[in-house]
Structure 1
Amino acid sequence: MKVLVVGFSKTGTKTMNQALQILGYSVYDYEHNFYYLRDEWTKILTKGGTKEDFYHMYKDVDATMDIPIVVFWEELLEAFPDCKLVFMRRKDEEDWIQSWEKQAQSVEDNYALKALSWFSPTARSIFRYSHHVGRIVFGSSSTCFYKAYQGISPTVAKKRYRDHNTSVLERAPKDQMIEFHMKEGWEPLCKFLGKPVPDVPFPHKNKGASLVEDYLRESPVFLRMKTEMKVILTVAVGIIGVGAYLFTNNYLKFPEWK
């Protein structure tokens, strides 16, 4: 692994994901971590893990970010001591918590996610994993994916955010880290990573907490979930239709059943 993004969730991680992809990196963001590595992460979150576990998980990935990555940035740095760290933060805690709560509400309010949690096997397995993530990161007790980050005390959330930022700023190796601000654009990021500046505008993702809709529209993982749901619903409707036909046919054929 070459780049570890150590900015907490809701500090521009989706924009950084897009920027790193434009620069040619293979990236594991939140969705990839829970889809491809949910068994490994579940083990770490419930039973524990080692430096070797982290190395095996990310040895073939160029960059990774977001929850639960940021909670274990030091363990990942131990596994990949030469990787570069990209740190982002919002202007203050109140700005961060407002953005976080808006994102959490958009997840809970999305009926498509609720449907997926019922009708997609992939979604059900991933949503169980999300419970562990919410519990470890914020102390959330919810078992539903779409409520995984609801009911969290804003005081607790801000403390987790504050403590994370403090740990990075105090303990991360200064010669391997950049504190990056999105408004700065490509120049400082590309200089830090040793990459040429792309001939495209610097991206801006997850505008107005659009993450859920973006996932449902673009993410291969979520598109697979939607396909599974369609197949299951189609089969269910077919079975119901056949059952209704057989019942009606037999009912009419044997009037003594009336």
Structure 2
Amino acid sequence: MLRVIGAGFGRTGTMTLKTALGMLGFAPCYHFTEVFAHPEHLPHWAAAADGREPGAWRVPLHGYAATTDWPGVVFWREMSEAFPDAKVILTIRDAAEWYESMRNTVFAAIGGRFPETAERFRAFEAAEHLAAFREAGLIGRSFAGRIDDRDHVIACYERHNDEVRRTVAADRLLVFRVEDGWAPLCAFLGVPVPDRSFPRSNAREDFRSTVLRAPAG
């Protein structure tokens, strides 16, 4: 049963949050990297995103304690309604910085600007379902069908964040910047602060090596 729902778009510290949640005992946590470790999940994500089976997102999340990043963020509202006791964490960062990070990582990969990554995508056994989710879920539902206009993409990002803030009850929501570290996260989740440094994961320069790589553990 989900205990934590990550409502922040990718490139807002979602891999860092995944790692931190694991260190705090909220594991396993579903992040985009999970779809490459479990390609059998992708037909369910795609079917939920394009509306053929709206509740199919539940199938991949069986046994997970938390989510961050895509594909789960597409269904943050449905998850928050289905798991009313789960906490919701909205990771954010400066919109212009976020866009540049997306442009140089996720959008670059979608556009085939990383030749080695493009080859790995083509060889991926669930590539067709991954492409279907990308079009219906990531591009379609997160960015209203297009990612070629900076102002439009930023407007989608800001609108999403505003909607989460308006929708989720204040006592259930943490708006979180990863540079804030352990204190607000642990206070929100009601757990002690670890005696280890707060993690830092998936910087832009590491993106290519993390794409299609199965999660550790």
TM-score of the superposition, structure 2-length normalised? 0.83
The one-letter code of the counterpart of 1:180 is F
Structure with the bigger percentage of helix: 1
Larger RCO (CA within 8 A; separation ≥ 6): 2
Which residue in 1 is equivalent to 2:22?
21
Return the alpha-carbon distance in structure 2 between the equivalents of residues 42 and 196 of structure 1: 38
Output one character per residue of 1:80-129: Cα deviation in whole Å (capped at 9) or x when no partner. Answer: 011001112113x2222122112235523322222223334244543443
The one-letter code of the counterpart of 2:209 is E
Output one character per residue of 1:143-167: Cα deviation in whole Å (capped at 9) or x when no partner. Answer: xxxxxxxx52112211110110110
Percent identity between matched residues is 27
* Aligned residues of 2:46 and 2:129 also touching (Cα < 8 A): no
Return the alpha-carbon distance in structure 2 between the equivalents of residues 73 and 162 of structure 1: 15
Match 2:162 to one of 155, 159, 166? 166
Return the alpha-carbon distance in structure 1 between the equivalents of residues 209 and 57 of structure 2: 30
Match 1:121 to one of 121, 125, 138? 125
- Unaligned stretches of 5+ residues in structure 2: none
- 1:57-76 map, 5 Å: 57-76=60-79
Which residue in 2 is equivalent to 1:246?
none
3-state SS in 2 of match to 1:178? strand
* Aligned residues of 1:54 and 1:79 also touching (Cα < 8 A): no
* Aligned residues of 1:138 and 1:152 also touching (Cα < 8 A): no
The one-letter code of the counterpart of 2:61 is Y
Displacement of 1:135:
3.0
Displacement of 1:192:
1.3
The one-letter code of the counterpart of 1:8 is F
Displacement of 1:2:
0.1
- 1:30-41 map, 5 Å: 30-33=32-35, 35-41=39-45
- 1:190-229 map, 5 Å: 190-215=186-211, 219-220=213-214
- 1:50-199 map, 5 Å: 50=54, 53-91=56-94, 93-104=95-106, 106-107=108-109, 108-133=112-137, 134-140=139-145, 152-199=148-195
Return the alpha-carbon distance in structure 1 between the equivalents of residues 73 and 24 of structure 2: 21
Return the alpha-carbon distance in structure 2 between the equivalents of residues 78 and 113 of structure 1: 36
3-state SS in 1 of match to 2:204? coil
The one-letter code of the counterpart of 1:67 is W
Output one character per residue of 1:212-239: Cα deviation in whole Å (capped at 9) or x when no partner. Answer: 21345xx327xxxxxxxxxxxxxxxxxx
Return the alpha-carbon distance in structure 1 between the equivalents of residues 201 and 88 of structure 2: 20
Return the alpha-carbon distance in structure 1 between the equivalents of residues 71 and 59 of structure 2: 16
* Aligned residues of 1:3 and 1:83 also touching (Cα < 8 A): yes
Distance change (3 Å), C-alpha of 1:190 and 1:97: same
Displacement of 1:79:
0.8
Output one character per residue of 1:194-220: Cα deviation in whole Å (capped at 9) or x when no partner. Answer: 22222221111122342221345xx32
Displacement of 1:176:
0.8
* Aligned residues of 2:46 and 2:130 also touching (Cα < 8 A): no
Displacement of 1:138:
2.3
The one-letter code of the counterpart of 2:133 is Y
* Aligned residues of 1:106 and 1:209 also touching (Cα < 8 A): no
Greater CA radius of gyration, 1 or 2?
1
Distance change (3 Å), C-alpha of 1:177 and 1:32: same
Return the alpha-carbon distance in structure 2 between the equivalents of residues 105 and 111 of structure 1: 13
Distance change (3 Å), C-alpha of 1:18 and 1:36: farther
TM-score of the superposition, structure 1-length normalised? 0.71
